[in-house]
Amino acid sequence: MGEASPLLHFLFVSFPGQGHLNPLLRLAKRVASKGPLVTFSTTLDLGNRISAAAAVAESDSDLIPVGRGLLRFEFFDDGTDPTDPHRDDLDILMARLESNGPPALTNLINRQTDAGRPVSCLINNPFLPWALNVAEDLGIPSAVLWVQSCAVFSTYYHFHHKLADFPTEDNPDRTVNLPGLPPMRPEDLPTFLLPSNPYKPLTNVILAQFKNILKARWVFANSFEELERDAFDAIAGRLQIPVIPVGPLVEAGEPQEKIKADMWKPEDRCIEWLDKQEKRSVVYVSAGSIVMLNSSEMQELAFGLRNSGRPFLWVVRENLRELLPKGFKEEIEAEGKSILVEWSPQEKVLAHKSLACFVTHCGWNSTLELIAAGVPAIAFPQWGDQVPDAKFLCDVHEIGVRIPTPAARAEIVRCLTAATDGPDAEAMLKRAKKWKEIARAAVTTGGSSDRNIERFVDDVRKWVANGGGGLVDPVAGVCRVIHGSCAVAT
């Protein structure tokens, strides 16, 4: 930015959850790398929790260079009591955020103006729909980062607006046909949309994201054009604002990789252990930060991994350790072939030469990370969007095999064999490596997602230069997705 250029200041506001923080922070760094000042924000309680692990600071003097721009952190106080053991309960958290979040975010934005750095654009993830209302009230253009696949976005969008027929209690076996997607059987759909879904409050939270989404000028998707071209093209014909791919938002190749928002400190000893293993020999296992496997699943997974005879690195959070077979941890560590850790530097693990495959719950972040690493998947989805993610990995992109439910140790061994030594293993690995090349190319300079971020920053820059006017009007169809790119008419 030259001295005569108006100051560009992007404010990123994240829902306080690990699966939301990571992709939004990565997008924030990519925007900052284009030249603007970027402030990243979430709740004060979570900010305090990630600060120790991520080494982030919150003061004006702590401006972190990122490419041609700068990144800073500033958190808002939503009234969380850090001593409350129920502070992360979703119902309590959502009610507290909806009540206390808008005034707290408004105060944060006003402080930016008072400090001489008014906010040019607000970007949030959709579990904070009220952030769009705050931006509208303050006359600030806004954007939303959708942190799941475009296919899942389209599925929820069609369900919310009743644009397609979905399974009902009277017809629970209905196949759903959506534009740009393969036919989706009930077992392929996000579980929150099924009549058997026991988590109705969570479904309401998810669908609430679509009530005011048209207040945003842009919807970004943590995906890339080449991976979901048909889905992007199809949703462009439904939605009045552009859905723009800006991913994969993964660690590989991102600016300032040392800046993270991890809620747990990863155990780096697992990298030292991987260094001692043979090439393409290790099975990596992780169910992410939220999934709670039951006792039977933990037992079958444990025995299946051990019976496979392959070395494995298994992320087992502390709250799941008691579900392991008695003495399991001590036995495998005594053998020296495998290790358990509470949290891992996942993308470093996936990039390691000793890795053979990834047993994953198929959360979207993990799905993109394995695609970007070129690693075959053993899909073990539990609920929500993990189910369609597994379908696309295994049936559409053909870079994984799926563990049947309920999990059984013999089936786990069979799947591990199929992905590493089976007759289709080499072709599966070749496809995975090809997707790795395409994913990496999308986010490199001049790649499809990189161009979309550049255009977005330029559009906001023009808005600031025009004194807060003259933004492209996506509702009028001037800015739209054409083969995954934001095409701006002149």
Domain with residue 421: its CATH number is 3.40.50.2000
Which pLDDT does position 138 carry in this prediction?
96
- Average pLDDT along the chain: 87
Q: Is residue 91 part of a domain?
A: yes
User: pLDDT tens for residues 455-470?
Assistant: 999 999 999 988 875 4
**Residue 259: partners with Cβ closer than 8 Å, 6 or more residues away:** 25, 29, 54, 55, 56, 64, 66, 71
Q: Are residues 250 and 306 in the same domain?
A: no
Q: Are residues 76 and 215 in the same domain?
A: yes
Orientation of helix 295-308 relative to helix 328-335, angle to 10°: 20
87-110: average pLDDT: 88
Higher pLDDT, 289 or 314: 314
Q: Is residue 264 part of a domain?
A: no
Higher pLDDT, 321 or 481: 321
Choose the catalytic residue: 20, 158, 352, 397. 20
Q: Is residue 64 part of a domain?
A: yes
Distance CA 386, CA 364 (A): 7
Of the listed ranges 39-48, 58-67, 361-370, the least confidently predicted one is 58-67
Distance CA 372, CA 252 (A): 8
181-208: average pLDDT: 91
Distance CA 22, CA 12 (A): 12
Q: Are residues 187 and 306 in the same domain?
A: no
Which pLDDT does position 486 carry in this prediction?
36
Q: Is residue 2 part of a domain?
A: no
Q: Are residues 203 and 280 in the same domain?
A: no
Of the listed ranges 54-63, 178-187, 374-383, 448-457, the least confidently predicted one is 54-63
Distance CA 314, CA 294 (A): 16
Q: Report the chain's terminal Cα–Cα distance, integer Å.
A: 23
pLDDT at 211 over 90: no
Q: Is residue 4 part of a domain?
A: no
Which pLDDT does position 59 carry in this prediction?
43
3-class DSSP assignment, residue 121: strand
Distance CA 337, CA 354 (A): 13
Confirm if 29 and 62 have CB atoms less than 8 A apart: no
Which pLDDT does position 271 carry in this prediction?
93
Which pLDDT does position 50 carry in this prediction?
72
Which pLDDT does position 192 carry in this prediction?
93
Distance CA 19, CA 291 (A): 12
Which pLDDT does position 101 carry in this prediction?
92
Determine whether 160 is an active site residue: no
User: pLDDT tens for residues 349-402?
Assistant: 999 999 999 999 999 999 999 999 999 999 999 989 999 999 999 999 999 999
Q: Is residue 232 part of a domain?
A: yes
User: pLDDT tens for residues 124-168?
Assistant: 998 899 999 999 999 999 999 999 999 999 999 999 999 999 999
Q: Is the peptide bond before 248 cis (omega within 30 degrees of 0)?
A: yes
Which pLDDT does position 58 carry in this prediction?
45
Instruction: For tokens 């053993």, name the residue.
Output: 378
Tally of structural domains, the chain: 2
Q: Are residues 54 and 111 in the same domain?
A: yes
H-type alpha helices, 309-424: 328-335, 346-350, 364-373, 386-391, 409-420
The DSSP annotation for 217-261 comes to SEEEESS-TTTSHHHHHHHHTT-SS-EEE-----STT-SSTT---
Q: Are residues 237 and 320 in the same domain?
A: no
Q: Is residue 335 part of a domain?
A: yes
pLDDT at 60 over 60: no
> Residue 113 has what DSSP assignment?
H
Q: Are residues 84 and 49 in the same domain?
A: yes
| Tokens matching residue 5 | 């250029």
Q: Are residues 389 and 464 in the same domain?
A: no
User: Binning pLDDT at 50, 70 and 90, where does residue 3 land?
Assistant: very low
Amino acid at 18: Q
pLDDT at 199 over 60: yes
Which pLDDT does position 263 carry in this prediction?
63
Q: What are 286's strand-pairing partners?
A: 360
198 burial (CB, 10 Å; 0-12 / 13-18 / 19+) is exposed
CA-based nearest residue to 322, from 344, 293, 343, 289: 293
Task: State whether the Cα torsion 419-386-128-90 is positive or negative.
Answer: negative
**Residue 443: partners with Cβ closer than 8 Å, 6 or more residues away:** 30, 224, 247, 248, 253, 254, 449, 450
Q: What are 481's strand-pairing partners?
A: 486
Higher pLDDT, 50 or 367: 367
| Tokens matching residue 27 | 């997008």
Q: Are residues 243 and 301 in the same domain?
A: no
pLDDT at 473 over 60: no
pLDDT at 292 over 60: yes
Of the listed ranges 58-67, 357-366, 424-433, the least confidently predicted one is 58-67
Q: Are residues 458 and 429 in the same domain?
A: no
Q: Is residue 48 part of a domain?
A: yes
Q: Which domain holds residue 109?
A: 9-259+444-488
Distance CA 402, CA 454 (A): 38
pLDDT at 114 over 70: yes
Which pLDDT does position 164 carry in this prediction?
96
User: pLDDT tens for residues 142-153?
Assistant: 999 999 999 999
User: pLDDT tens for residues 214-234?
Assistant: 899 999 999 999 999 999 999
Q: Are residues 221 and 303 in the same domain?
A: no
The DSSP annotation for 10-37 comes to EEEE--SSHHHHHHHHHHHHHHHTTS-E
Pairing between β-strand 243-245 and β-strand 218-221 as defined by DSSP bridges:
parallel
pTM of the predicted model, to two decimals?
0.89
CA-based nearest residue to 373, from 384, 386, 360, 392: 360
CA-based nearest residue to 349, from 275, 415, 424: 275
Distance CA 36, CA 8 (A): 5
Q: Are residues 194 and 247 in the same domain?
A: yes
Residue ending a domain, choose from 442, 459, 474: 442
Task: State whether the Cα torsion 279-255-71-244 is positive or negative.
Answer: negative
